Amino acid sequence: MSRRCELTGKGPMSGNNVSHAKNRTRRRFLPNLNDVTLMSDALGRSFKLRISAAALRTIDHRGGLDAFLAKAKDVDLSDGALKIKKDIAKAQATA
Q: Pairing between strand 45-52 and 13-18?
A: unpaired
**CATH number, position 31:** 2.30.170.40
Instruction: Look at residue 95 in the predicted model and tell me its pLDDT.
Output: 80
Q: What percentage of the chain has pLDDT greater than the value 90? A: 97
Which pLDDT score, from 0 to 100, does residue 2 have? 85
- In angstroms, the Cα distances linking 76 to 9, 11, 63 are 5, 11, 19
Which residues form the domain of 81? 13-94
63 belongs to a structural domain: yes
- Is the pTM for the entire model greater than 0.85? yes
Buried b (16+ CB within 10 A) or exposed e, 51-78: bbeebbebbeeeeebbebbeebeeeebb
Number of domains composing the chain: 1
Instruction: Give the other-Cβ count within 10 Å of 45's Cβ.
Output: 9
64 DSSP assignment:
S
Average pLDDT over every residue of 19-47 = 97
DSSP, collapsed to helix, strand or coil, labels residue 78 as: coil
